[in-house]
Amino acid sequence: MTNQTPPVTLELAPSAPSLKALSAVCYLVITTACFFKASAMYDHHLVTTSQFSLLRTVNEYVEITDCTFYALQLVTVLLFFRPFKLKFAHRVGAGLPSRTLLKDIAIGSLAGITAFLVAMPTLLGQYQSPGLASLLANHFYDVSGWALLVLLLLLLPTLSEAFFRGFLEGPFLDSRLILFASIASTLLFALCWPPFNQLAGLILGATASALFYVRRSVRACVIANVSFTLGGVTLLVWRAL
């Protein structure tokens, strides 16, 4: 009798998380590109029709428009991919750090503040349109000012980390693809994140990605994002005063 070795078959079909992640990334890139194109066309229309006052107003509040559109993008893609299945605190296995709410708050705050200090030179050197800072400074006690703070300090950090960390990186935490997923999500985050410049977004994205790998907690990444954004908004308002 001869022993016959069964043929080895390779599984080439992509996994469901990979297909979902690729679809979500394509949606985000395409809609972002279309939004930038539409914004440029609208600015050109205002110039050709000599509506310079309206053009100035649009450019002054461009960050607010970008942040609102970014939030709508994330809400759409997360609802489409059923975000309620996302885990804000992934399973702790052997050798992984334990998680508590206080630890996540402390480590997330430290990571966010550190990232902000590293990114501060880029924030000080960038041009920022006056609309965002003036709205925060002049309407801090109004509904509009508080609505903007909720958008910047609650909605955007939560939606961003739920998507980039929980959705894009979460399924690959125990996979050999985690490095690729982390790099891809960091670059995409820097491209799409609207409050500040792309270099600051790259620093925050890389910090949140490393924090997520170590802590396995979206919650800690949300705290880091909030800490970073709070520092940036405070610096922005201080420069405008």
- Per-residue pLDDT band for 85 (boundaries 50, 70, 90) equals low
Say if 116 falls within a structural domain.
Answer: yes
pLDDT at 175: 81
What number is the average pLDDT over the span 166-178? 85
- Per-residue pLDDT band for 133 (boundaries 50, 70, 90) equals low
- Per-residue pLDDT band for 107 (boundaries 50, 70, 90) equals very high
Most confident among 39-53, 88-102, 107-121 (mean pLDDT)? 107-121
Say if 1 falls within a structural domain.
Answer: no
Q: Which of 1-15, 24-38, 126-140, 227-241 has the lowest mean pLDDT?
A: 1-15
**For residue 92, how many other CB atoms are within 10 A of its CB?**
13
DSSP-assigned states of every residue in 130-170: HHHHHHHHHSTTSHHHHHHHHIIIIIHHHHHHIIIIIIIIG
* Token pair recorded at residue 149: 């703070």
Say if 2 falls within a structural domain.
Answer: no
Say if 167 falls within a structural domain.
Answer: yes
* Token pair recorded at residue 39: 């914004």
- How many domains does the chain divide into? 1
Say if 52 falls within a structural domain.
Answer: yes
What number is the average pLDDT over the span 1-26? 60
- Per-residue pLDDT band for 101 (boundaries 50, 70, 90) equals confident
* Token pair recorded at residue 213: 């790998």
Q: What is the pLDDT of residues 194-239, one digit of tens each?
A: 888 889 999 999 999 999 999 888 999 999 999 999 998 888 878 7
3-state secondary structure of 50: coil
Say if 29 falls within a structural domain.
Answer: yes
Q: CA-based Rg of the chain, rounded to a whole angstrom?
A: 21
Q: 121 with 225: CB under 8 angstroms?
A: no
Say if 99 falls within a structural domain.
Answer: yes
215: nearest Cα among 112, 113, 89: 89
H or E segment at 62? helix 62-80
Q: Which residue segment(s) compose the domain that 84 sits in?
A: 17-240
pTM: 0.81
Q: Which amino acid would we find at residue 217?
A: S
Report the distance separating Cα 107 and Cα 103, nearest Å: 6
132: nearest Cα among 147, 122, 120: 147
H or E segment at 29? helix 16-48
Q: Where do we find the tokens 């902000």?
A: 116
What number is the average pLDDT over the span 49-73? 85
Report the distance separating Cα 22 and Cα 219, nearest Å: 24
> With 0-12 CB in 10 A as exposed, 13-18 as middle and 19+ as buried, what is 226?
buried
Say if 74 falls within a structural domain.
Answer: yes
